[in-house]
Amino acid sequence: MATLKVSDLTKNFGKTQVLKQINLDVSDGEFIVLLGPSGCGKSTLLNMIAGLESVDEGEILIDEYVVNRVEPKDRNIAMVFQSYALYPAMTVRDNVTFGLKQRKVSKEKIEQSLKHFSKMLQIDQLLERKPAQLSGGQRQRVAMGRALVREPQIFLFDEPLSNLDAKLRIEMRHEINKLHEQLGTTMIYVTHDQVEAMSLATRIAVMNEGIIQQIGTPQEIYDKPNSVFVADFIGSPAINLIHGTYSKNGAEACFIPDLQKDDFKIPLSDYAFESEPKDGQQIIFGFRPEHINLPDVSLKSSMKVELKPTLIELTGYEKEVSFEFFGNEVTGRLPRHIEAELAKPISLNLDLSEISIFDSASTLRL
Amino acid sequence: MQVADPKQLEALERSASRKRTLYRWLLFLVLGLFAIYYLAPLYVMIVTSLKSMDEIREGNLMTLPGEIMLDAWKTAWSGRGYAAGDVFLRPFFWNSLKMVVPAVAISTFFGALNGYALTKWRFKGDNILFLLFLFGCFIPYQAILLPMARTLGILGLSNSISGLVLVHTVYGLSFTTMFFRNYYISIPDEMIKAARIDGAGFFKIFFKVLLPISAPIIVVTVIWQFTGIWNDFLFGSSFSFGEAAPIQVALNNMVLTSTSVKEYNVDMAAAFIAGIPTLLVYVLAGKYFIRGLTAGSVKG
């Protein structure tokens, strides 16, 4: 059980600054996911929290203590790596208990923890095997076991599921989720997979180019992305972004797409601006694929649109349909029974209750 | 092409299989010729060493001995039938063994330690240091004979087995470090990170985690070092003489300083004895040698 605080953390590799004044506050028992594209600094941040990378500037506090100069083994953390990082020459038993032996834990205690956690992870039948004799999923479990037996204050995960196949990944994701429920230990989890992030996190920190772009609950991140980057990074298929102009005439505010015809505009009267743009300002209008609906769905704030499908893909339980939209291509998620034909316009409803508006210049949410 | 006709098809198949057989035999022939070419000197050595001098003078190089005589081997090994003061190999064989075992062990161990430090505990300038090690691989040994002789003199190790152990260890380190460095660089750093978090220190990680998975590269290094040190003549002849000489020097003395007639059978037997240990090492560990050479390229 522990809190973690990172303040103004900076890291340079040679001349490149990979982390720029990172601030992060993690309360006890939270599951924080660091999410971002490769090279955004998320793994470096995790390694620094673990003590495997030195701190250039700033502080890392675990339970209010500055641990900048504390060795990894003394931080009371455990880490699970993407490559599992099992010791190839040792049996599963030795792999799992290696850390405890280094800490001179009594034999009975070691045996007891081993029994408990190997049963929990269903690796109790594999204890005498070497890592080379295990499947990917089993190796992953052993790696988890090695972290668990130590009963650390904070768990660190560095893309632990990236090497597993799709089915196993979902299975292990569920187990990690259950584990967090059971243990209630603080966990920091690095991934580039948004689905993992959404499903595991109590809060997600979206990182890009060495800074945390946004931190919030999965719901907040998905519904109210604070920048074009976050909006675009989260969600699959990606959010539809359309460039245009903000127009305000008295009380009537609306969005005019750049290449519109026939005076087409989208009313924005119901949108709650954090800071309202000026009349004529360039803005980006964002809406998620699920916000294009069939007309019969009753919505409190919506508008009718006629769109021509340019591509229809059946994903199983629904259809992903691309439409031509004033020179842009937008994607909608429609029910599978919909009768759509290429180049034949269908009338649809655009849900305006959960749209996002960004400033074109700063790409920040308005 | 139309091959609907079964007769035609049969003819095609037959010609294809004939062609395959022909190429197969051609391959065997060429490979066999190369093998004979390489093994011929060895054959001559063995055959000659088993003949008596009379037989050597009468026959030619390739004829088999009429009667297998081990006298030449006995003479070469223990000086049987020799006058006092003549050189025979036995004491020098032990000299070489006393030199090669510690030199190989020490240089391999420190090579492993260096390779580990250079890849898993990166520090500023580690690449430059490694380049310097590589540079050591290219130093011509003739260039350092004089300074090394002086160094050994100052250390009081001139003309001793320990002196040779030191020289071979120092000059072997470049190679052993390179071998281990290239092997360890392919081992994921995460394994070391995991061990550090588990609470293991520098040496614990080395002995418990890395060394147990280093067998392939240890075999390569040991073979390389053993062959190099056992077969070395330059250092042996420069830094030792008389009783402290290794076997290659003794072999040279034996062959060149015989006072009477050249005893080819004894010379051949002696040369063979001097080569046995390296042959043995290859036969015993050759399989691992090839495996180790290619091990670096695939991630374990």
Distance, in angstroms, between A209 CA and closest chain B CA? 23
Whether the Cβ atoms of residue B196 and residue A52 lie closer than 8 Å to each other = yes
B142 and B282 share a domain?
yes
Output the pLDDT for position B82: 64
B258 and B207 share a domain?
yes
Output the pLDDT for position B100: 95
B233 and B293 share a domain?
yes
Q: How many domains does chain B have?
A: 2
- Look over chain B and give the mean of its residue pLDDT values, rounded to a whole number: 87
Output the pLDDT for position B117: 95
Q: Higher-confidence residue: B240 or B116? A: B116
Q: Please, where are the H alpha helices in A39-135?
A: 42-50, 92-102, 107-120
Output the pLDDT for position B293: 60
ipTM above 0.90, yes or no: no
B110 and B58 share a domain?
no
Asked if the Cβ–Cβ distance from B197 to A99 is below 8 Å, we say: yes
Asked if the Cβ–Cβ distance from B198 to A82 is below 8 Å, we say: no
Q: Does A137 touch chain B (CB under 8 A)?
A: no
B237 and B110 share a domain?
yes
Q: Does B300 touch chain A (CB under 8 A)?
A: yes
Only one residue has tokens 């309202």, namely A276
In a domain, B11, yes or no: yes
In a domain, B1, yes or no: no
In a domain, B75, yes or no: no
The residue out of B69, B102, B121 marking a domain boundary is B69
In a domain, B262, yes or no: yes
Percent of chain B beyond pLDDT 90?
Answer: 51
* Mean pLDDT score, B42-57: 87
B184 and B111 share a domain?
yes
Q: Does B204 touch chain A (CB under 8 A)?
A: yes
Output the domain CATH number for residue B179.
Answer: 1.10.3720.10
In a domain, B107, yes or no: yes
Distance, in angstroms, between B210 CA and closest chain A CA? 8
- pLDDT at residue B285 above 90? no
Q: Decide: helix, strand or coil at residue A332.
A: strand
Structural domain containing residue B180: 90-299
The set of residues, in sequence order, having a beta carbon less than 8 Å from that of B250 and lying 6+ positions away, is B87, B89, B91, B92, B95
- pLDDT at residue B26 above 90? yes
* A272: enclosing H helix or E strand: none
Angle at A196 between CA A238 and CA A119, to 5 degrees: 165
Cα(B195)–Cα(B49) distance, rounded to whole angstroms?
A: 57
In a domain, B213, yes or no: yes
Whether the Cβ atoms of residue A180 and residue A104 lie closer than 8 Å to each other = no
List of long-range contacts for A339-345, beta carbons under 8 Å, 24+ apart: A340/A309, A340/A312, A341/A309, A342/A309, A342/A310, A342/A311, A342/A312, A343/A308, A343/A309, A343/A310, A344/A308, A344/A309, A345/A306, A345/A307, A345/A308
> How do residues B207-221 score in pLDDT, each as one tens digit?
999 999 898 899 889
Output the pLDDT for position B299: 37
Whether the Cβ atoms of residue B246 and residue B95 lie closer than 8 Å to each other = yes
DSSP state of A278: P
Between the CA of residue B130 and those of A80, B144, B239, what are the distances in Å?
Answer: 31, 20, 29
Residue-by-residue pLDDT tens, chain A, 366 positions: 689 999 999 999 988 999 999 999 999 999 999 999 998 999 999 999 999 999 999 999 999 899 999 999 999 999 999 888 999 989 999 999 999 999 999 999 999 999 999 998 889 899 999 998 898 889 999 999 999 999 999 999 999 998 888 888 999 999 999 999 999 999 999 999 999 999 999 999 999 999 999 999 999 999 999 999 999 999 888 999 999 999 888 778 889 888 887 788 888 888 888 888 888 899 999 999 999 888 766 667 788 888 889 999 998 888 899 998 888 899 999 888 888 888 888 888 888 888 999 999 999 998
* Mean pLDDT score, B9-38: 93
Q: Higher-confidence residue: B66 or B210? A: B210
**A contact residues 333-362, partner B, Cβ 8 Å cutoff:** none
Output the pLDDT for position B296: 43
Output the pLDDT for position B259: 63
For chain A, percent helix, then strand, then coil, each to nearest 5? 25, 35, 40
In a domain, B59, yes or no: yes
B115 and B48 share a domain?
no
B118 and B53 share a domain?
no
* Mean pLDDT score, B23-39: 95
The residue out of B14, B37, B69 marking a domain boundary is B69
Asked if the Cβ–Cβ distance from A81 to B193 is below 8 Å, we say: yes
Which of B188, B199, B209 lies at the smallest CB-CB distance from A99? B199
Output the pLDDT for position B85: 57
> How do residues B83-114 score in pLDDT, each as one tens digit?
555 678 888 999 999 999 999 999 999 999 99
B44 and B189 share a domain?
no
In a domain, B74, yes or no: no
B45 and B180 share a domain?
no
What is the count of residue pairs from A and B with beta carbons less than 8 Å apart? 63
B117 and B238 share a domain?
yes
B180 and B133 share a domain?
yes
Asked if the Cβ–Cβ distance from A52 to B197 is below 8 Å, we say: yes
Name the residue of chain A whose CA is nearest to B187's CA: A85
Name the residue of chain B whose CA is nearest to A98's CA: B198
Cα(B98)–Cα(A175) distance, rounded to whole angstroms?
A: 59
Output the pLDDT for position B258: 59
Whole-model pTM: value is 0.82
Which of B197, B204, B213 lies at the smallest CB-CB distance from A50? B197
Q: Does A85 touch chain B (CB under 8 A)?
A: yes
